[in-house]
Amino acid sequence: MREDETQITEKFSGKPARGLANRFMREMEDKPQLAFPAQNSITQAPPGFRQGGQADFVAMWAGQGAPLSRALPAAELIARLEAETVQAIQQLPKGELHAS
């Protein structure tokens, strides 16, 4: 399994949601869960738990585009996104960009 693989699960909240696949999802796959919001209340990570690198046991919600993410410092990511957006706009045929 890749670190950016996602799957839909009800095991964290009691409702279907897509998140990064982790150990909790795998181990709970065949186990029953409570209905929402009861399941959600018992799977909440205690304060500071996420900061301890315990990603195997907390919900890490992510869309299906998660594999397209970039591991960069925020400032570098924003600079790249800005440059790519400017480049894309510059490549539009004249008259394609209209102000609303």
DSSP 3-state assignment of 9?
strand
Write the CA distances from 91 to 17, 77, 100, integer angstroms.
Answer: 37, 21, 20
Give the pLDDT band (50/70/90) at residue 53: low
Count of domains observed in the chain: 1
pLDDT of residue 44: 85
Distance between CA atoms of residues 61 and 71, nearest Å: 17
Q: Say if 86 falls within a structural domain.
A: no
Q: Say if 34 falls within a structural domain.
A: yes
What's the domain range around 14? Answer: 6-69
Give the pLDDT band (50/70/90) at residue 71: confident
| Range 28-50 average pLDDT | 86
Q: Which tokens go with 87? A: 């480049």
Give the pLDDT band (50/70/90) at residue 2: low
Q: Say if 53 falls within a structural domain.
A: yes
Q: Say if 84 falls within a structural domain.
A: no
Q: Which residue has the tokens 């998660």?
A: 66
What is this structure's pTM? 0.63
Q: Say if 18 falls within a structural domain.
A: yes
Q: Say if 74 falls within a structural domain.
A: no
Distance between CA atoms of residues 94 and 75, nearest Å: 31
